[in-house]
Each structure stands twice: as C-alpha cells, then as structure tokens.
Amino acid sequence: MVVARKWIYAKPFEGLPNDGNFRLEEETLPEPGENEFVAEAEFLSVDPYMRPYMASYPAGSVMIGGQVAKVTASRHAQFPVGAYVFGNFGWRTHTLVKPDGVVGGQRADDKPYVLPAFGSHPRSLGLGVLGMPGNTAYFGLLELCQPKEGETVVVSGAAGAVGSVVGQIAKIKGCRVVGVAGTDDKCAWLRTLGFDATINYRTVGPDGFGGALKEAAPKGVDCYFDNVGGYISEAVTGQMNLYGRIAVCGTISNYSEAPVRVRDPQREFVFKQLRQEGFIVTRWRQRWMEGIEQNLRWIEEGKLRYQETVTDGFERMPHAFVSMLTGGNTGKAVVKV
Ligand SMILES: NC(=O)c1ccc[n+]([C@@H]2O[C@H](COP(=O)([O-])OP(=O)(O)OC[C@H]3O[C@@H](n4cnc5c(N)ncnc54)[C@H](OP(=O)(O)O)[C@@H]3O)[C@@H](O)[C@H]2O)c1
C-alpha cells in the first residue's frame, strides 16, 4: 500500500494564486491491476498554463501538471519497474496510472512515455528543454516563424523555459536574436547564451520599450516569438518588417491580470503583409521525439545550453508555482520531491 500526497485546487484562482487556493491531501493507492502501474514522482513541473487551464476544472480537482516519475510497481509490459517516465499525472507524489485509459481530465491521446536516455544530463530535463517546453520552442519557432539566416528574431519571456531555447535555436539558424526579460541578471545570462541584444522590460517600462527595441533591432523584426502578449507584443508588432512572422505561444502578462488595452494592429498586418499564428505544442504530438532528439543533439554539440530553477520539497509546489509566475525562475522551474 502506498500513501500518495496530492495538491488540491481548493479555491478558484482570482488574480495571482496564493496559499489559500491550494490544499494538501493524502490518499492510499490500491495495488496496480492488469495493465496498470504505480509511478513515484521525482521531479514535478510548474508551468504558466496551469494558471489559465485550471479555470476549466472544478474546485476540489487535483492540480494538473507533468512529472518525471519512477515506476515502482507494475503490471504493464511497456512500463517495467525501475523505468523513468514522463506523465501528466498532476501534482501528486504517487500515481496509479492506467496508461491505456483516460485518467481524470487527461485526454485519451495524452499518454505517459518512458523517458529516452539523456546521457549525463539530469532526468528533470524531461520537463524542460527535453520535454514540452523544449518542443514548444523547437516546433513553434521552426514551423511557424521559419527563421532565415541573417533575419532578426525577437523573443519575449526570453529567460524562461521556452524562451531561452527559442533564442538559442534562432542563433543556431544564423539569426540576430533579441531577448526580452525581466531582470538584468536574466539579460546577462541570455547574452552568455549568445543572444545579440537584450531588453529588461521592467527597467525600460511601457514608454521606453519601443525605443529600446529600435536600438536592439535596428533593421526591424522579421520573426517574433510571443510568450507574453500586452504592450511588449504591441511594440514588437509595430516594428515588424515586410512579410514578418509572429508565433503566438503564450500571453503570460494577462494570466493573472486583466489584459491591457493595446493599439489596433490590423493596419500593420495589411501593409506589412504579416502572418500571425497561435499554437499549442501538442499539435506536433506525432513528432514529439523528433524535437527531444534534436534538442539533445544540440546540447551534446554544445550549441544549446540549459538552466533550471529547482525548488526542494513537494510541500513547496504552490510556492514554486507562484514564484515562476512572478519571474522567480531562470530557465525551467521544477520541483524536486
Ligand atoms: N502554446 C504552447 O503550447 C505553450 C507551451 C509551453 C508554454 N507556453 C507559454 O509560453 C510562455 C512561457 O512559458 P514557460 O514555461 O517558458 O515559462 P517561463 O518563461 O519559464 O516562466 C514564466 C516567466 O514569465 C515571465 N513573466 C511573468 N509575468 C510577466 C509579464 N507580465 N510580462 C512579461 N513576462 C512575464 C517571468 O519572467 P520575467 O522575469 O522575464 O518577467 C517568468 O519567469 C507562457 O506564456 C506559457 O503559457 C505555451
């Protein structure tokens, strides 16, 4: 018998989440049945999408999320004891997994998978550069922005899990890369990764952002990978070049706050013949391992670097989540159980 701890979405979010939104509970798991296994979480992910997505779950649900977990008991041939898996099991220390069925709010095609070998790199990368955020950067940038050598690529949320990978892939493709992030330390780290220019949006503010962007991208912007929305995206859209491409990945500036009013961008879209497309990374579910394998190759070749902000202790999940939403992380935010 295994006693699992799980974080419950106790009260709907309003504004920035706080301790009152969460409750820690325990649950005793039964032994796995035929084609089931028990997974013990090693690392859990805290991601921005949890903030807007929880709105579609009733209070009392287990918080949603991905984890890297070890199979500790199994009656499923594809998930033997000792294997490490990625699964969207939620904020739980232990999970009875029925990989062939639909669990909770999980989609039928949202199946756990055994982690590929990461060489000398930590398994937690399966939540970051070698998992969903890395694939978001890989497919979102290459498929939607299609950056060409010599073009200028701007990425907002640049020092985070997705943004830091986007900028480095754009460098691999021979682009000039401008990163937008919220602290001087993050900007300095991005420049060590090869970003050509950075803007600390908090110090320049909404009024200074357009001027700072003109300096950082003097030839205009060909590709914009948008993680944040709001005034940053308004300003970048205003400085796009003819036939510019915008991949809309996220709008974190309005996940916990009301969206700010921005200027109508339609004129820019017409006269500069821009293309903008939103996406969810699971669009490329069928090519999932391609993204992971390519990002791993680039890591092995020294072309792609990663950083993680690791919070110790399952009991600190809410803290890690709120800290990530407010910029406390550099690179991928994960929790070690
Ligand atoms: N479409 C998809 O399939 C998909 C998949 C994964 C992620 N996403 C989206 O991609 C974005 C980044 O996700 P991530 O996992 O890489 O998170 P992350 O960037 O590692 O962490 C979130 C970061 O957002 C920044 N931020 C917070 N409030 C902000 C604001 N008002 N304006 C600008 N930046 C703000 C903070 O950094 P600063 O210190 O720089 O402010 C914080 O560190 C999110 O919008 C997320 O929803 C989309």
3-state secondary structure of 118: coil
Q: Which residues contact 128 (CB under 8 A, 6 or more apart)?
A: 45, 134, 161, 306, 308, 331, 332, 334
Distance CA 121, CA 220 (A): 37
**Residue 14 contacts residue 65 (beta carbons within 8 Å):** no
Distance CA 165, CA 171 (A): 10
Find the mean pLDDT for residues 16-29.
Answer: 98
| Helices 201-216 and 230-238, axial angle in degrees (round to 10) | 10
Q: Output the pLDDT for position 102.
A: 55
**pLDDT digit string, tens, across residues 215-242:** 999 999 999 999 999 999 999 999 999 9
- 250 CA distance to ligand 1 middle (Å): 7
Find the mean pLDDT for residues 310-314.
Answer: 98
Q: Output the pLDDT for position 162.
A: 98
Residue with structure tokens 């700010």?
Answer: 260
Q: Output the pLDDT for position 280.
A: 98
**Residue 335 contacts residue 67 (beta carbons within 8 Å):** no
Distance CA 86, CA 116 (A): 10
CA 244 from chain centre, in angstroms, equals 24
C-alpha dihedral, 320 to 251 to 106 to 313, nearest 10°:
0
- 160 CA distance to ligand 1 middle (Å): 6
- Provide residues with CB under 6 Å of ligand 1: 47-49, 133, 136, 157, 159-163, 181-183, 186, 227-228, 249-250, 252-253, 279-281, 324, 327, 329, 333
Distance CA 22, CA 126 (A): 25
Percent of the chain with pLDDT over 90: 96
- 253 CA distance to ligand 1 middle (Å): 8
Q: Output the pLDDT for position 62.
A: 98
**pLDDT digit string, tens, across residues 101-132:** 655 555 556 899 999 999 999 999 999 999 99
* pLDDT band of 253, cuts 50, 70, 90: very high
Q: Output the pLDDT for position 110.
A: 80
Residue with structure tokens 């401008």?
Answer: 178
Q: Output the pLDDT for position 90.
A: 97
Q: Look at residue 328 and tell me whether its pLDDT is greater than 90.
A: yes
Give Cα separations from 208 to 14, 200, 205, 241 (angstroms).
30, 10, 5, 20
**pLDDT digit string, tens, across residues 168-212:** 999 999 999 999 999 999 999 999 999 999 999 999 999 999 999
CA angle, 48 as apex, 45 and 53 as ends, to 5°? 100
- Which residue from 292, 333, 295, 294 is spatially nearest to 316, judged by alpha carbons? 333
Q: Which residue out of 227, 262, 284, 310 has the highest number of ligand 1 atoms within 8 Å of its CB and is therefore the one to mutate?
A: 227
Q: Output the pLDDT for position 267.
A: 94
Q: Look at residue 250 and tell me whether its pLDDT is greater than 80.
A: yes
Q: Is the pTM of this model over 0.85?
A: yes
- 48 CA distance to ligand 1 middle (Å): 6
- Per the DSSP assignment, residues forming a β-bridge with 335 are 44, 311
For the chain, list the domains and their CATH numbers. Answer: 2-128+308-336 (3.90.180.10), 132-281 (3.40.50.720)
Distance CA 171, CA 167 (A): 6
**Residue 69 contacts residue 114 (beta carbons within 8 Å):** no
Distance CA 61, CA 218 (A): 49
Q: Output the pLDDT for position 109.
A: 60
Cβ neighbours, 10 Å, residue 83: 16
**pLDDT digit string, tens, across residues 35-61:** 999 999 999 999 999 999 999 999 999
Give Cα separations from 12 to 36, 52, 88, 92, 163 (angstroms).
32, 11, 21, 19, 28
Q: Which residue out of 228, 252, 253, 288 has the highest number of ligand 1 atoms within 8 Å of its CB and is therefore the one to mutate?
A: 252
Q: Output the pLDDT for position 1.
A: 83
* pLDDT band of 91, cuts 50, 70, 90: very high
**Residue 153 contacts residue 137 (beta carbons within 8 Å):** no
Q: Is 126 left (phi over 0), alpha (psi -120 to 50) or beta?
A: alpha
- 252 CA distance to ligand 1 middle (Å): 5
* pLDDT band of 100, cuts 50, 70, 90: confident
Q: Look at residue 20 and tell me whether its pLDDT is greater than 70.
A: yes
Residue type, 336: K
Find the mean pLDDT for residues 256-275.
Answer: 95
Tell me what the pLDDT averaged over the chain comes to. Answer: 96
Specify the ligand 1 atom closest to the Cα of 183.
39
